[in-house]
Amino acid sequence: MDIQTTLLTSLRKLAEQHTMQTLGDRGGYLGASDIGYCPRKIILDKIHPACHDLATLLRFQRGHMAEEIIARAFTAAGYDNFERQVEIVLADDIPLRAHLDFVFTSQSHRIKSVLEIKSTSRIPDGAYGSWESQLYLQMGGLARQHPEYTVRGAILVLDLAHGDVGFFNGYEPEETIYRGLIERAGTIWSQYQAMLQGVEPEMKTEVTPLCGYCGHIATCPRFETEEVPQLAGVVEALQELQAREKNLQGQIKHIKGHLFAVVEQQGPIKSGGCLLRKATRSRKHLDMTRLETFLTQNGSVIDEYQEEREFSFLEIRKAKAA
């Protein structure tokens, strides 16, 4: 068995064990973390659980590590007033549960603070809507369970690869949002039950850039036709960023050119807390003329050693008007 297969098999086993120990059978209830996502995806994921690939399993482990790091950091800082993986039942009529990563309690101030940990590969500018939905459910449930406490919430995001931290703080329970989310969960649950009984309800779909990672895109009615207007905003945002990137690259090249001309004439200088100097590196390159001559002398041509390799990228072109 190669190392990839060993890792894949053992991490799958670990993920199953972790889910059973901390969350139980996820087919039997809805989790607060589900509710902010596309309803159709949530239901179909429950009916046909995905067999996770190595990249996803490693991301799960990164999430557990992030929580452990934070727990150790708080303990080292002398905090002992927190509980971990606090389970809360959120509704009476549907099995909806929240698992709170951290709950800090101040008995003297009668405050309970929820801290949700997220691990990402880039710290976003703001908390994602799905994270906030989860936090509002967690805070709402905790406030109902402990009416004598003031409840607060925050999301702490770790980017373990780059050592970055993001902190989105200042959340408080919002009754209207909480009720809306409970209602949304009720609809998802009843449609899930209908599917289990063999009825095919019309499930709500929510198109986002995350559809690219959805295992049910091939059968998704939103992608049946070529036109997907819900992604127009994302496409426009990407084009705007690309235009800015091009502009920035031009500006960077321009300024670099000026500074290079200075150090080329003047030698090394110090400015803006930096040392600027002309650096020279060498890089090996193939002398194609000599190589071709050598190959021809030995009865061969360079084409024989060239092979085509496929690669994929996102091409964006102006669509023709219908």
Interface with ligand SF4: number of residues (CB under 6 A): 12
Shortest distance (Å) from residue 134 CB to ligand SF4: 17
Q: Which stretch binds ligand SF4 (CB under 6 A): 15-23, 64-72, 200-208, 271-279?
A: 200-208
Shortest distance (Å) from residue 230 CB to ligand SF4: 8
Residues 22-41 that bind ligand SF4 (CB under 6 A): 38, 40-41
Q: Are strands 164-171 and 150-159 parallel, antiparallel or unpaired?
A: antiparallel
Member of 206, 263, 276, 295 binding ligand SF4 (CB under 6 A): 206
* E strands in 108-259: 111-119, 150-159, 164-171
Amino acid at 67: E
Nearer to ligand SF4, 224 or 307 (CB): 224
Nearer to ligand SF4, 93 or 200 (CB): 200
Shortest distance (Å) from residue 140 CB to ligand SF4: 25
Length of the chain: 322
Cα–Cα distances in angstroms (integers) from residue 32 to residues 97, 101, 136, 154, 178, in the given order: 6, 12, 9, 15, 11
Member of 97, 112, 152, 216 binding ligand SF4 (CB under 6 A): 216
Q: Is 20 in the site for ligand SF4 (CB under 6 A)?
A: no
Q: Is 222 in the site for ligand SF4 (CB under 6 A)?
A: yes
> Do 299 and 305 touch, CB atoms closer than 8 A?
no
Q: Which of 206, 213, 202 is nearest to 228 (CA)?
A: 206
Structure tokens at 215: 């295992």
Q: Is 301 in the site for ligand SF4 (CB under 6 A)?
A: no
Cβ neighbors of 275 (< 8 A, separation 6 or more) are 268, 269
> Do 122 and 160 touch, CB atoms closer than 8 A?
no
Binding site for ligand SF4 (CB under 6 A): 38, 40-41, 205-207, 211, 214, 216-217, 220, 222
